[in-house]
Amino acid sequence: MTRQLMKKADAAMAATYMRFPLTIVKGEGCHLYDSEGNRYIDFLAGIAVCNLGHAHPEVAAALTEQANRLWHVSNLYYTEPQTALAEWLVKRSFADRVFFCNSGAEANEAAIKLARKYFYDKGQSERYRIIAMEMSFHGRTLATLTATGQDKIKKGFAPLPDGFDHVPFNDLTALRAKIGPATAAVLMEPILGEGGVLLPEPGYIKKVREICDKHGLLLIFDEIQTGIGRTGRLFAYENFDVVPDIMTLAKALANGLPMGAMLATEKVVAAFDAGSHATTFGGTPIVSAAALKVMQVIEEKGIVARGCETGAYFKQKLVGLQKKHASIVDVRGMGLLLGAELNREGASVVAACQQKGFLINCIQEKILRFAPPLVIEKEAIDALVDCLDEIL
């Protein structure tokens, strides 16, 4: 069945993905099942998306209930699920207002547009440039691709939009040097996810905030991968005691349904007046209902605290593995966003784990990334570590 489906898929769809030879047919909790009946423990969660695991019964029930009532009416009208979700996010974050969209890239596009519109409305239209970080990842639209600090994914798409500058992550001197009269904002991931699970040095995030305040710049946090409990707090910025002006979310927001969000303070978001930005599908009733239930379950069942504790346990186990195997040169991360850097390519390790029933992935060729559901059990972590021990 898998070979037949692969053949059909490869013939019918654009070849933009290097897919594994698996046909996933079912998910339940932290497990996935393929068409051959094999079971896998999922340590990737759809790339940091399914924080509650797969087919969560309470989310499924909320989705089903809303599906029998109302799916879509566009944003020409008010709906209850969207309003309730917006209130929940505002109440539990720094932000005063939310703009809903469909993906992380769209959320970052909205943030970029808002930063420019903010200065335009202040009579400073010359301030439009955004400083981003090298090795960052912000999306694959033309603007977010340009904001991304990895040249390898930009090849073939020139000319790219003007208005973006890049500096090394953790380099305050380079950041200060790049700021000029045209600079409007700093856009950054609090932890570089696709760039290699790179953590900020102590005090770095606070210094970036201070620099932005000194020069009148907006600070935008891309929390698409780090948000919704992934780093041991509901939002990663809480780990650093720093508040941004704008924040973007997606991935885990609706536990697998397509949803993105841009959150901002009242002062900044006022620049988005009627007609200045819009989306047809953003925050539809059916997706909002699912996302609201995700948020409620995360809060009511203490999922963030649980993920924080489990993440610390997982990291400790990986550090123990590093002491045993010279091929692991570094273990880093926060919460349940962890990376183990190897001194060789990691694709073969990923393939070997898959053969043994564990799904992980490799980024930047040598870094094994682990982003399991926040409900992963310690027994599953032990089993993966034993598997990696054997493979290495």
| Residues with active-site annotation | 137, 222, 251
Distance, in Å, from the CA atom of 12 to the CA atom of 241, rounded to the nearest integer, reads 48
Cβ–Cβ under 8 Å, residues 85 and 261? no
β-pair type (164-167, 129-133):
parallel
Signed CA dihedral, 160, 162, 167, 169: sign only: negative
Distance, in Å, from the CA atom of 75 to the CA atom of 82, rounded to the nearest integer, reads 10
DSSP states of 287-299:
HHHHHHHHHHHHH
Query: What are residue 125's phi and psi, to 5 degrees?
Result: -65, -15
Cβ–Cβ under 8 Å, residues 228 and 249? yes
Which residue type is seen at 213? D
Structure tokens at 211: 């620099």
Direct distance between the N- and C-terminal alpha carbons of the chain, in angstroms, rounded to an integer: 32
Structure tokens at 82: 């969207």
